[in-house]
Structure 1
């Protein structure tokens, strides 16, 4: 989580020739809707027009090394950024779509709480989370809007780091290679060992694995100390899964309806 003061307005949509003058344009994207394991992450980013970052693009088309390099540049140069997530338990309770919206909502809330209050929020895709600011969905926004590209990179890298750390507790699942996606290796591990507490029980392959084998708890591991997560359920992200991204993540409770 970071911020700097800025006096120069930032332009709105990168692709719009008649874009509005916006001081704080916030790009938002998520990572991890499809995997069978791990939380879904989201990031909110306000870029600094005085400190442009070359190479921003949809995180999915970048190599892991390029994403890591851009992650550091975004954190250093952005006017403000925030990463958040929705837990596996929340995914299984409210479904992955709503959990993705919740993670994005938390990312925007965290950004605003740091003092960078968006004038406009632009979200990748065709749906918008409920936020207290003007918001619009941009289809293929991660390829068209630099702030959304930056958000997609932060969310992807943070989630990948968390799943790499989870590999230390459950090495037999190969999280270091597939980061939770349903690859043949992952499906074979589910069939052999069953599901872990970090698997999404609402996803069909995980349900099938739980029907065949009991929950696999793996190696005992102490829960990490996670900054700004005092109100989170202590078991929500136990083990080493959040260690790499912990210092940048805030877990905010859902807003009251």
Structure 2
């Protein structure tokens, strides 16, 4: 018959074995959590001095999350939309137009961007131009922003509905204003903020023929890919909320602001599909109706 001491020794061994298995189980769960982590690709429409804050964010998140982080920036929305269509970018700092397209592709907004200063759309001409009103734009050559830009693409198309243009060319604000100065185009579309920034470093004299503050353009958003699992999203959001205020300000997201509502904005964009179809036909003249 087993002695009392032998029974106690067996009991201790059994408890130790159970504890070891429990620790192994916990370790296994931690391993699963780690395996959920993946390399992340951050995307942003930015160039020049705008890129540096995103590079700082890249390094910060890599350190906090312990996963490889890559950053891809592009000077216009075309590359951003292409990456969204392929679900290649996992975290995107998206302007209102890009955010709407991303949400339609399954991306989820997690933070608002502080982009209110970019939400007024303007149409500008040379100061010596004979164009005074929107009706005078008939037969003109227009420099339009790239698809995805709220203020330089979607809103101008809406405001020019019913107009027949001679030609449409696509460019960012700097190029559009250069072309305007060189009389390559007659009219240029952009945000009011982009116009004011250009005026500070150029001698060009331009005149605003239309400014649109009526369209309910929401702020931009930081959106996250549907491929990112919930656990990693929680870790990512936590790290971004705890980032240094200078880093948050530099990249433009607002951790505690309400998420913008995009339903009306997406519906507005959808109404432009017929006009967009005409633009894609690359015809001249270009009827915007």
TM-score higher than 0.5: no
Specify which structure has the higher proportion of strand.
Answer: 2
Question: What TM-score do you get using the length of structure 1 for normalisation?
Answer: 0.30
TM-score, normalised to structure 2, is 0.27
